[in-house]
Structure 1
Amino acid sequence: MKRRTYVTLSILGLIAGSIGLYSEALVAPALAGHELMGREIAKGKALYDENCAACHGANLEGQKNWQTRDENGVAPAPPHDETGHTWHHDNQLLFDYTKLGGKLLLESRGIADFKSGMPGFQDVLSDEDIWDTLGYIRSTWPKRVQEVQDARNPPHE
Structure 2
Amino acid sequence: MTRWRPLTLAALVLFAIGGAGCSDKNEHDPFALMEGEAIYKAECASCHGAKLEGQPDWRTRRADGKMPAPPHDASGHTWHHPREQLAAIVKHGLVPPNAPAGYVSDMPAYAGKLSDKQIDNVLAWIESQWPAEIRQQRAEMLQQRQ
Q: Percent identity?
A: 38
Q: Point out the more displaced range, 134-143 or 117-126.
A: 117-126
Aligned-residue offset at 1:124 = 1.1
- 1:38 paired to 2:28: yes
Aligned-residue offset at 1:147 = 1.1
Distance 2:113 2:126 in 1: 18
TM-score (norm 2): 0.73
TM-score (norm 1): 0.68
Aligned-residue offset at 1:88 = 1.2
Task: Report the CA distance shift for 1:137/1:110 in structure 2 as closer, same or farther (over 3 A).
Answer: closer
- 1:75 paired to 2:67: yes
- 1:148 paired to 2:140: no
The residue number in structure 2 matching 1:136 is: 125
Distance 1:75 1:132 in 2: 25
Deviations, residues 42-70 of structure 1 (Å, cap 9, x unaligned):
11100100110010011111111111011
Q: Which amino acid aligns with 1:47?
A: I
Q: Which amino acid aligns with 1:41?
A: L
Distance 1:142 1:99 in 2: 26
Q: Point out the more displaced range, 38-47 or 48-57.
A: 38-47
Aligned-residue offset at 1:118 = 1.2
How many residues are matched?
120
Uncovered stretches (5+) of structure 1, i.e. residues with no partner = 1-32
